[in-house]
Structures are given as structure tokens and as C-alpha cells.
Structure 1
Amino acid sequence: MILTNVELGPFRSINTAQNCTIDPKVTVLVGMNEAGKTVFLQGIHKACDALDVERFEVIEDYPRKDLTRYNKTHNEKPDNAIRLTYMPEEEDLTLVNKKHNTDLKLGFTYSLTTNYKNTRTIFIQIDEKPIISKIINAGSFTSDTVQHIKEATSIRKLVEILDDLDLNDSEQKTHEQLSTRLKASNWNNITEYEVFKTLDARLPKTLYFSDYDILPGKLNIKDLARRYKQSATDPSQLTPKHKSILALLRMADVSIDELSDIDGYESLKAKIEGVSNSLTDQIMQFWKQNENIEVVVDIQNDSKDDAPFNDGANIYLRIKNSRHRVTTPFDKRSRGFIWFFSFLVWFDSVQYQFNAEDEDRKLILLLDEPALALHALAQSDFLTYIDHLSENHQVIYTTHSPFMVNSDRLNQVRMIEDKDKIGTVISENISGSDPRTVFPLQAALGWDIAQNLFISKRNFLVEGPSELIFLKHLSSVLEAKSRICLNESITIVPTGGLDKIVTFIALLGASNLNIAVLHDFDGKNNQKIDEMIKNKIISPKSIKNTSMYTEQKDKPSDIEDLLSTKLYIDYFNKTFEKQLPDKIKISDLPIGSRIIERLNRYLKEKNISLRPSGGFNHYLVASTFGSNPPKAIDEKTLSNFENLFKDINSILD
């Protein structure tokens, strides 16, 4: 199950409901301090907390400026706090379709709305007509009965009709089964209820972690035991540092009673050290800053310490540096390591509690300013760890560090701003955001550019390296023939896809850089590019698509379609000659406007595998073209590229 959309508000600094799409893997919330990033995470957490302790509280959570007005209507008409939209994955749909005789497809979604009385409202739509047809076709009804029930639009209506009919034994058995299903719910659409109950049992719950949850260097055992006992009636007794130590003890399978047993300290210490060593091993998979450190645990008395540490035994956590052969208090050294280790303790502990009941259920991890204390390169290491987490769980995290943003995945970024008289605003529109908010993205992109690209005053943005190869070579050929080629002052910038082209326009367009764009065309307008044109961020004359330079104008096309079909097929055959059973001819290919799509269909139909993921690597064909260029190129291909270069030169003149 994947969370696909969040509509949050009114909630704290969010005065007006804000809609935010959620990436299937990782979503990054970027914004200045106090912009509302934490508010967004906490709003999600209150709606579906894995440990089921969070609730929406009117006094705490409703925007203060409207609280007096809202209190007058709260009891009779509570406002909605949040709406979460989920998309079942293939395994979820397989289970549902098999269990409930449905035929739901990938892309099916449903939503849950939670109000300020913490009541949920479910929105789910399933047509019961196909299910009724399956019930009728199962053969338990006579033709006369079928005539009466065939117009039923719901299972509930079907049962009402059957109630008034004289049924045989087989029909009566089906009638009883359907009636039993109806009694389980008062929903009009019984299938929607049944499907929802199945999906709800698989709903991903949230875990929230912030800088306040790090482990302390020491804690008094008697004080912890006393607080733990009192927390049954006063939850405030357990602060984050107490909860984090309890998490460590829980992982070591140590109870509070065992911890209070003075005679058992050696065995307790051994258990806790075992867990600490295991966690240290885990962290070292991703921690590359100093691989000579580990966490050690000690339990001892110190009557000379300040209260409450002078009363009985304390549990001490220390960091050992094997290179310097010293140990230091856990909370006094390497705050980045402390945060990382504390996170692992928290995550493993809560995951253990939650998965004890359902080990297959996925989680949504809400990380508030993770890795803030880490060195810039260590933050890059932590991004690798986030990718590791996202293999099994969705991750949503906040940051204002450029090193906590993957510059090749800026489509995962959501902007958070606090606007005067409006409150917190959440947006995917990078170009329309405050420059101070966008700065981490500019810095991240700048870092990437500094390492990988040379940006000039005239930039020709294309989707990938294949475009770069074809454009460079064809420009050289045309120049040798004294025909129009690409102006030598223009830099071709491969961005890594259409989504990233949009980001490059937004972030570079404001830097007085001249930009022209060429993108592949899928047959329809790109909404983000259209919005940029509408907002006058870039001129429509600067945006070109490949179909403009092919014979089939306004048909789906790629850069490869500017080459003649024969020329591209020749290089395709050269590239994969060892893997193809026979050379492919143009007449072998299915009809279509895109040569790549036609080749992919042909490979699939002939069950030819050129790579594990299917299809073929376009860059390999372009690479063969660049390393072993044709001795002669047909006039059609030359004209297509010449027309393109003429337009780009004009745009960037």
C-alpha cells in the first residue's frame, strides 16, 4: 500500500488545507526554519500513528487565530484535519480481487479523512454490477430468478429482490450467504465495505522521529523505574530520553523489573551490550566518517554524583574509539553518530513492537531534519541509508540542507513556505517559491553541476546523453558540408529526463542564462512546462519537441525519430548483433510513429531479451553511432537536424 496524497489543514500553522502529492519512495520537504515542515509531518503522524497513541487535539492543533470561532461549532460540525489517499500495490490488489471477487486495477485509490473528533470518513468507489454478474453467472439461479435480479445495481438491492422470491434450495443457500454479508455492515455498497476492511488491515502506519529522541549518556535506573510506573496515569513522566532508553532495553529483551534487580547486572549488561554491538554493526554499513568507533554499555553506582544519579545504579552509554583507545560519554561526542545510532534504536524497537502483530505491513517513516549534525559528505551517506529504508517503507523527511537533497531526484522535493496572512503553504512549484526556500535546491543543483557540467551563457537543455551524442555528431557532419550546424557557443546540457528539464528551467532561468529546450514528445502537452510558460518563466518559443522536426508532426516521437528509420535500424543491429537471432528489417516492425516503441514491441512479441528489465538500452545504440559514425547520412536525416539547429541558434542568438 502506498500513500499517494496528503491534504492537511486547518492544522497549527496551516490555516488553509494544503494538498501535497507523495512520492512512492522518498518525499523531501524543503523549507526555512519555522516554515511548517515539522507541522506537516506531525499532522500525518496524528492520523495514522503506528503505536496508536496520537490524536488530534483542538486546543493544541487547531490554528489559534480561528480557534475561538471554531470552538462554537466543533461539537456539532467538527472540521476535517487531514485526508490521506492510498494506492494499493499489486500484491494488495491480488489479495482483494481473489477474496472479494472484484477486478480492481493498478491505479485504484481510496482515501481516509480524519476530523478533529478523531472520527474517520472513508471514500472508496467500487461498481458492484460486475460482481453481481459473476454471482448470476455462477449458475445457482434459475432463468426465472435471473430475470428478476439481472437489473440489480448493488448486492444489497439483489438481496432485497431475493427476499420476495420463492427460491429453490441452491438459490436459498446463495441468498443466505449474501444476507450474512449484508448484516456485517450498514454500508449501501457491501463490496466497498469488505474491500476497505481488507485494505485497512494492510494500511501503512507512521513512525515519527526527531532530534529530541536521541539517547542520553546516562540514566538512573531507580528514577526510570519510578517514572515508568507513574506513566500509566501520567504519560508526561516519560520524556524522550527515558523512552529512548526503554527502546534500547526492549530490544535487549530486558524488563524494568530485571533492570531493578541488583544481582543481575552482569547478565543485563551482557544483553544490552549485545544489542549495542549489533546496532553498531548496522550503522557501519552506512557510516563512513569514522569506522573506529562503537557504543559500549556500563551499569554501576556513583554515590558522589548529583541527584538522581547518586541513588543506586545508573546505566551509562559511552562511545569507544579503538584508534585512540579511549571512551567518552555518549552525549558528549560526535552528535552525528549519536543521532544515527539513536535512530536505529528507535526504528528497530518500534518496528519490533509493531511487527510483532503483522510482520509484513509496511511503514511510513517521518524523519524530522535527519542527519542535521552530520558533515556534508556524511549526509550523502545518510541519503544512501534513506534509499535503503525506502526499499521496504515510504520515507518522508524534512531538511534545509543542500546535501540532503538528491540533485538527480528533484521531482521528489516539495516546497514548504510560511506566507504572511496565509500561513504554511506546500507546493511542488519550485519556480514560484521564495528564493530563500529554493536556495538548498539551487545549492544541490550547483554542487551537481560543478562536478558534472559546464554551464555557459547559452544552454541547450536536452533529456539525456543519447541526445548529446546524436546532436554533437550531426552538427559536425552538417558543419563539414557547410550547412547550418549548432553554434559553437551553445552548450548542450543533458538533464536526465523531462522532469529534470523542468527543474533546470526553474533554477537556472532566474540566473540570466539563455535557455532553449528540446524534449521527447508523448503526444500531449506537459503540464509543468505549460505552467512555466503561463507564468512567463520561459518563452514558448524556447520550448521545442522532437515531433516538430519529423515528418509526422504532433505524433509521439524521440530524438531517434529525427534519424531515418533505416539508419537507426542499421545501428540497432550493429549494437546488438551478438544478441539478436537475426538482423531486424523495417518490414518486421509493428506500425507506429516512434522507432524505439516499435522496437520494444517487436522484442516483446518475439520474446527477445536484451536486458533484464525489458526493451533495450537506447544509449548503447547512440554510443555505437558516436564511436563508429556512418560514412554517409541520408538527406532526410540531415534536413531534420539542420532545421532543429536553425531554430535553436535563433532562440539562443
Structure 2
Amino acid sequence: MKLVKFRVCNFRSIKDSTWIDCSNVTNIIGVNEAGKSNALLALWKLNPASGGEINLLEDLPRNDYSDLKNKCDRLPFIQTYFQIDEDDPLLNELIDITNHDDSELNLLYIERHYDGKYYYKFPNEMNNKELNASDLKDIVNAKLSEINGISTSTAIERKFKLAVVDALNKIQSYLNNLEKITANELSKIKTMASISVKASSKSEIKPILLEIQNVLDEKILTLKKPPIKNDEVWKKVINALPSFVYYSNYGNLDSEIYLPHVIENLKRTDISGVAAAKARTLRVLFEFIRLNPKEILELGEDKQNLAKEDIEILAKKREERTVLLNSASSKLTSEFKNWWKQGNYIFDLRADGKFFKIWVSDEKRPEKVALESRSTGLQWFLSFYLIFLVETQNKLKNSIILLDEAGLSLHPLAQKDLLNFFKSLSEANQIIHTTHSPFLVDTDNIDNVKIAYVDDNGYTVLSNNLRANTDPKKDNSIYAVHAALGLNVSDVLLNGCNPVIVEGASDQYYFNAIKTLLISSGKFTPSKDIIFMPAGGVKGVAAIASIISSNTNLPFVLLDSDASGTSFKNKLIKDLYKDEPGKIILLGDLTKKENIEVEDIIPLNCLSKAIDKYFREVDEFDFEDIYDPAIPLITQIEQNAEKYNIELPIGYKVELAKAAKSKILKLKENDDVEKQNIWLDIFNQINH
């Protein structure tokens, strides 16, 4: 089950976050006090792996507390949509329980209210009470024509044919008076299709009649399906719902832990903020080593005048404690090594009187050093690791990780390593993390980046749209993205990457996905990493090319072969690219077609569903049915939008690219070979 989008309402500083799309790794950026943490906290409380209790005094917006505190039984604070994939066992279980189709069950909406209760539904559930009569008319007409074309050789079969044709003609007449059909009307039609006349033993007509009767049975079942929601379905849903693991820097472990304070704080229920975060991390630490802090304290106390047998008992207990600590130290050292590649660390957990201490050494510094004397980055990662490991009980799947200002104390290079770590971890666990560090912004997947800012009323708002140049509040939040793109340019210059300038963000999404697919399938092996850099339109190409070019090498430029792209290619060849015209790739030159844009080299099935969403108000609209490969795809979309008075949103091409990206990555080797060959031509030209 995968989280596809969420919305926070009436939670702390958030009145309405707006809907935010989620991917395997989602990054929320914004300045301090923008409210990023509150978005994560609301998500955590949907289904926390541990803790995450709803606290009205802390969680309700202060300005509206008096108005909202008595509405908790109907007041949601978190709303979510989850995708249930076809390989998810839950989907088959729900199909078996409900007898509904997978298309009705593959999207789940679930929200949680302030009273702790949940509301859920399946938005694609078909609640039809009637069907279009025309669909059944077409089936009956087709079968009637088929039967009329069958010759009969026996009297029994001729009699049977006459009875069947007569029944189907009556059904036709009945359907001609209807636009819609109810379950009762379908039952009448089924009675009309029940023929008492016997067929011959080798009848060719009888199987056709049975097909019609089966169709009628299926349609009756469709209209009489019970609602999806029931107690058994809810049990399946809540058991399969991913748990959320939340971690912030406030929970970082100290190297020296004073046990009396630990014992006191673990009992308290009135602590919050930093103290609560520390207590939570300490709780999981002691769960990990399987020792009670009170027991550790008692074993460390000096006891006077003990009898010989009591001394022996105490000695055995202390020996057992040492064995447990050594075992926990070895386990932590071994398992942590699989997570963090910044060093080969050895942990030593020790109890000393009233203190519990964590010592660290590594290959470069073999001497044992207190944890607090090592980097804050190591402290952060160790603490997060323990939280995740213990709260998910070693179940790495079906948990969504929420990280607040993840790795902010890490060195920039370590932050970039952390970003790569997120990508590997997200293969089993979705990650949503907040940051204002440009080193933790994935410039290859800008569509995964969301912004948080404070609106004019002082409320936190989240947005999927990074193009916010006209709003100073959003400009401040988006600064980390601009900085990250600048750093990406630096990487290109310093690390010898192969830069390719594309016209816009949508082109970057498409070609990054294509690059990943071609490399992973083994079809393409780049001599250098290829970096696609959006220019914000053809007019920005020359400026970016000048910035990132060396004295001898200009970057490749990939342009649509529409009017503006073709015109700009000619301009570049006359000026900046006069000595290297081969580095300007026009899509039309590769496809031998005019007016080709990047969308025209993308398989239609990667785009059609996203296109259909813009036309959902048009009855029975299916873009694949009307698509003409001889006309540019974008032209067709905009012509149909004008025809049906549909207003396409600003930046809709970027949204199409985002939707297509995941489908491109799932393409098989034999899917749309013609277009995959075009992709290879482009990448081979860049590579050589």
C-alpha cells in the first residue's frame, strides 16, 4: 500500500495544507518556522508505529481552539489516499471479500479525526443502479447477426433457431424503448432469453445463447453488488495500513545517560517537546539492549554487608548484564554497518554506577571516544536507526518514515550520501523528509520536492508547485531548490559530467526516467553521468550553455522540433554553436517528422490516463480512441480542450511528465520498441 497524497487540516499552524502528492522519497522544503514539522506530525498520528497520541491542547490550532474542541467526533486532521498495487495481497483479499473489481479497490481514501476514529472509502467504487441500454443492445445485435449466419441441418435445430431469434428480436424491441436498464429490467430480459425449446446435441447456436445469458447474469450482479465497506473489510484495511515512524533531531542520544533521570522520565506522561523526544529514544535504546534502566541502576549500586549467597547472586546478575551489553554492542555494530557507509563504527555500551555510557571507535580512530565527542551527524543517524529498528520491530516493509530536518548536522558530502541512502531505503519504505539544506534536494527528481510557506493569515500552506517566482513568501521557501540547482551546475563542472540542456522541467522528468530505464535494462552504458538541465524555455538555453561550457566544450542541447525549437536551433548554429552544430539535437531530425515535441516520443499508454483526467467531465472520453499519431500530441490535447470548453491548468505539461515518469520506469524491453529505439539514438548521440 503506497501513500499517493495527503492533506492536513486544522492541525497546529495548518488550516488547510492543500493536497500534496507523494512519491518514494518526498522532500518538503521551507524556511524555519514555516510549519514543515507540523505536516509530518499530523501524518505520523494517522497510524503511528509508536507514540503519536492525539493531544487536543497541543494539536488543535490555538486561534480556533474554543470553536473546534467540541467538534472532535467529526473533525479530521489528516486526509490521505493510498494506492493498492496489483501485487499487494490486500487487493486479492478485498476482491474475495467484496466481489468488486480491482479497479474499484485499488485506491483507498482514509482520514483520522481528533476523537481517534477513522473514516474510509474506496473512491472508485461503482455504485451503479442502472446501466446504459445501448451497451446491451450492441451485444444482442452482434449475437443475433452471428446466429442468423448459422445454417441448420436438422429440424430440431431449425426450431431452436427460430425460438432463439424470436426471443432476441423481442429483447431488441424491449431495449429500443430504454436508455438505462435497472436490475429488475435485466431480470425480465433474462426471462425472455430463457428458451424452453430444446437444441440439438451438436448445436452451434446454444453456446451463443449461453454467452448472452452469462452477460446478463454478470450485469445483474454488477447492479446488485453490496457496498464495499463492512467490518471484515475494515479489519483488513487497518491491519494493512502502513505505520508511520517519525524522528526529529531533538531525540538524539547523549553519550552519558543519567539513569535516575531516565527512570523518572519514562514514567511521566506530562512531558513534551525535547524531553519527550529524548525519553522516546532512550525507551527504544533500552528495548534494543533488552535491559530495564531500573535494573541496570540497582545492579550498579554498591551494597554493604551482603551475605555470601547474596554476593554470589549479585555477581551473577552483574555478569549477565555485562553479557547482555556486550551482545547488544555487537548487534548494534553489525547491523548499523549495513546502514551507514560514512565509517566502520564499533559501539561499546557500558553501565557505570548511575550512568549508562555509549562509546564509539572506528578503524581510523581505534581509541574509544564518548558518543557526544563524535559528530552530531553520527549521533543523529544512530538515534534514528534505533527508533526505526525498534518501533518497526525489524519489519523494514510497510512503514513510512517521516524525518524532520534529516541529517542537518551532517557534512555536505555526507548529506549527499544521505540522499542516496534515502533512495535505497525507499525501495521498501516511503520517506517524507523536511529540510532547508540544498544538499538534501534531489535535483534529478525535482517533482518530489514540495514547498512550505506561511500565508497572509499566518497559516502553513504546502504546495506541489515550485514555480512561485511572483510570491516573496514562496521565494524564500524555494531558495534551497535554487541553491541545489546551482550546486548541480557545480557538480557538472567539477566532476566531468555530460550536461544536456533541455527546454523545460517536463523534458527533464521524461529524459531522467528514460535514462534510468535504459541503464537499468542494460541497453545503455554512459561513459559519463548525463545531467539534464532545464532552461525554462528556448530563450534560456544560450545563457545556461555559456555558464556551464568550458573553453573547448559546449553542452548538448535537446530541442523540440516545433516552430520555436527549429528557429532557435538555426540561431544557435549561427552564433554560439557555429563550431559544434552537431551538439544541437532536434527531435524531428531523429523521428523524420515535423513539429515533434518530447511528448510525441513517449508511449501513449504512459500518458493517456493522465490526459483523460483533464477530460473527466466529458462523458466516455478516452484519449486513446481519438488519438491521431500524425498530429502532435500536445496539439491534440489543446484542440480537444477547446472543443469541450476545458480549461487546462497552467503547467499541465509538467503534471503529465510527472504522471508518465513512473510508467516509463516500468516499461519492458519489448514495449513500444520504435520509441525506445529513438531514445537510444538520442542517448548514444550524447554519449559519443
2:248 is matched with 210
| Between structures 1 and 2, the one with greater helix share | 2
Match of 1:81 among 77, 83, 87: 77
1:119–1:375 distance in 2 versus 1, CA, 3 Å: same
Aligned: 1:339 with 2:361 = no
Aligned: 1:243 with 2:280 = yes
1:281–1:437 distance in 2 versus 1, CA, 3 Å: same
In 2, Cα distance between the equivalents of 1:39 and 1:507?
40
Kindly state the Cα deviation for residue 520 of structure 1 after the two structures are TM-superposed: 9.3
Kindly state the Cα deviation for residue 273 of structure 1 after the two structures are TM-superposed: 3.4
1:189–1:272 distance in 2 versus 1, CA, 3 Å: same
Kindly state the Cα deviation for residue 350 of structure 1 after the two structures are TM-superposed: 0.8
Q: Answer yes or no: is the 8 Å Cα contact 2:348–2:359 preserved in 1.
A: yes
Aligned: 1:94 with 2:132 = no
1:619–1:223 distance in 2 versus 1, CA, 3 Å: same
Q: Answer yes or no: is the 8 Å Cα contact 1:30–1:399 preserved in 2.
A: yes
1:557–1:494 distance in 2 versus 1, CA, 3 Å: farther
Match of 2:364 among 323, 335, 357: 323
Kindly state the Cα deviation for residue 198 of structure 1 after the two structures are TM-superposed: 2.0
Q: Answer yes or no: is the 8 Å Cα contact 1:16–1:422 preserved in 2.
A: no
Kindly state the Cα deviation for residue 49 of structure 1 after the two structures are TM-superposed: 1.2
Counterpart of 2:48, as a letter, is D
Kindly state the Cα deviation for residue 437 of structure 1 after the two structures are TM-superposed: 1.5
Counterpart of 1:79, as a letter, is L
In 2, Cα distance between the equivalents of 1:429 and 1:322?
46
Aligned: 1:151 with 2:192 = no
In 1, Cα distance between the equivalents of 2:538 and 2:118?
40
Counterpart of 1:67, as a letter, is Y
1:284–1:360 distance in 2 versus 1, CA, 3 Å: closer
1:443 is matched with 483
In 2, Cα distance between the equivalents of 1:35 and 1:47?
21
Counterpart of 2:319, as a letter, is E
Q: Answer yes or no: is the 8 Å Cα contact 1:124–1:196 preserved in 2.
A: no
In 1, Cα distance between the equivalents of 2:357 and 2:539?
51
Aligned: 1:299 with 2:354 = no
Q: 1:95-143 CA deviation, whole Å, 9 max, x = no partner?
A: 322444332139831212223333322232423779xxxxxxxxxxxxx
Counterpart of 2:277, as a letter, is P
Match of 1:108 among 106, 117, 120: 106
Q: Answer yes or no: is the 8 Å Cα contact 2:6–2:78 preserved in 1.
A: yes
Aligned: 1:399 with 2:435 = yes
In 1, Cα distance between the equivalents of 2:537 and 2:53?
39
In 1, Cα distance between the equivalents of 2:260 and 2:22?
44
Kindly state the Cα deviation for residue 423 of structure 1 after the two structures are TM-superposed: 1.6
Aligned: 1:351 with 2:395 = no
In 2, Cα distance between the equivalents of 1:295 and 1:32?
35
1:549–1:50 distance in 2 versus 1, CA, 3 Å: same
Counterpart of 1:451, as a letter, is D
2:664 is matched with none
Kindly state the Cα deviation for residue 241 of structure 1 after the two structures are TM-superposed: 2.9
Q: Percent identity?
A: 23
In 1, Cα distance between the equivalents of 2:434 and 2:542?
26
In 1, Cα distance between the equivalents of 2:674 and 2:368?
53
1:374–1:151 distance in 2 versus 1, CA, 3 Å: same
Kindly state the Cα deviation for residue 314 of structure 1 after the two structures are TM-superposed: 1.9
Counterpart of 1:330, as a letter, is L
In 1, Cα distance between the equivalents of 2:25 and 2:271?
32
Q: Answer yes or no: is the 8 Å Cα contact 1:520–1:559 preserved in 2.
A: no
1:62–1:407 distance in 2 versus 1, CA, 3 Å: same
1:446–1:119 distance in 2 versus 1, CA, 3 Å: same
Q: Answer yes or no: is the 8 Å Cα contact 1:10–1:17 preserved in 2.
A: no
1:63 is matched with 61
1:14 is matched with 14
Match of 1:557 among 600, 603, 613: 600
In 1, Cα distance between the equivalents of 2:40 and 2:284?
22
1:152–1:253 distance in 2 versus 1, CA, 3 Å: farther
RMSD between aligned alpha carbons?
Answer: 4.7
Q: 1:205-237 CA deviation, whole Å, 9 max, x = no partner?
A: 111001111112222334434554x34x76779
1:414 is matched with 450
1:95–1:282 distance in 2 versus 1, CA, 3 Å: same
1:566 is matched with none
Q: TM-score, normalised by structure 2?
A: 0.57
In 1, Cα distance between the equivalents of 2:368 and 2:435?
32
Kindly state the Cα deviation for residue 203 of structure 1 after the two structures are TM-superposed: 0.5
1:513–1:323 distance in 2 versus 1, CA, 3 Å: closer
Q: 1:517-554 CA deviation, whole Å, 9 max, x = no partner?
A: 84599xxxxxxxxxxxxxxxxxxxxxx98699836889
* SS of residue in 2 equivalent to 1:557: helix
Counterpart of 2:102, as a letter, is L
Aligned: 1:266 with 2:323 = no
Q: Which runs of 5+ in 1 are unaligned?
A: 131-148, 154-186, 302-312, 469-492, 522-543, 561-590, 596-607, 629-653
In 2, Cα distance between the equivalents of 1:277 and 1:610?
48
Q: Answer yes or no: is the 8 Å Cα contact 1:221–1:314 preserved in 2.
A: yes
Counterpart of 1:373, as a letter, is S
* SS of residue in 2 equivalent to 1:105: helix
Q: Which runs of 5+ in 2 are unaligned?
A: 130-180, 186-224, 300-313, 513-528, 547-556, 563-585, 604-627, 633-667
1:255–1:109 distance in 2 versus 1, CA, 3 Å: same
Q: Answer yes or no: is the 8 Å Cα contact 1:546–1:557 preserved in 2.
A: no
Q: Answer yes or no: is the 8 Å Cα contact 1:362–1:393 preserved in 2.
A: yes
Counterpart of 1:276, as a letter, is S
Matched positions, count: 461
Q: Answer yes or no: is the 8 Å Cα contact 2:380–2:407 preserved in 1.
A: yes
Kindly state the Cα deviation for residue 436 of structure 1 after the two structures are TM-superposed: 2.1
Kindly state the Cα deviation for residue 624 of structure 1 after the two structures are TM-superposed: 5.9
2:38 is matched with 39
Q: 1:26-85 CA deviation, whole Å, 9 max, x = no partner?
A: 10000000001101101111222123642151x3222222334445xx348743322111
Kindly state the Cα deviation for residue 466 of structure 1 after the two structures are TM-superposed: 12
* SS of residue in 1 equivalent to 2:16: coil
Kindly state the Cα deviation for residue 346 of structure 1 after the two structures are TM-superposed: 1.2
Q: 1:601-620 CA deviation, whole Å, 9 max, x = no partner?
A: xxxxxxx9679x99956554
Q: Answer yes or no: is the 8 Å Cα contact 1:9–1:16 preserved in 2.
A: yes
Counterpart of 2:49, as a letter, is A
Q: Answer yes or no: is the 8 Å Cα contact 2:252–2:380 preserved in 1.
A: yes
Counterpart of 1:271, as a letter, is L
In 1, Cα distance between the equivalents of 2:602 and 2:122?
42
Q: 1:454-476 CA deviation, whole Å, 9 max, x = no partner?
A: 99xx96637479999xxxxxxxx
1:350–1:494 distance in 2 versus 1, CA, 3 Å: closer
Q: Answer yes or no: is the 8 Å Cα contact 2:343–2:362 preserved in 1.
A: no
* SS of residue in 2 equivalent to 1:408: helix
Q: Answer yes or no: is the 8 Å Cα contact 2:9–2:16 preserved in 1.
A: yes
Kindly state the Cα deviation for residue 427 of structure 1 after the two structures are TM-superposed: 0.7
Counterpart of 2:417, as a letter, is D
Q: TM-score, normalised by structure 1?
A: 0.60
Aligned: 1:201 with 2:199 = no
* SS of residue in 2 equivalent to 1:15: strand
Aligned: 1:461 with 2:461 = no
* SS of residue in 2 equivalent to 1:199: helix
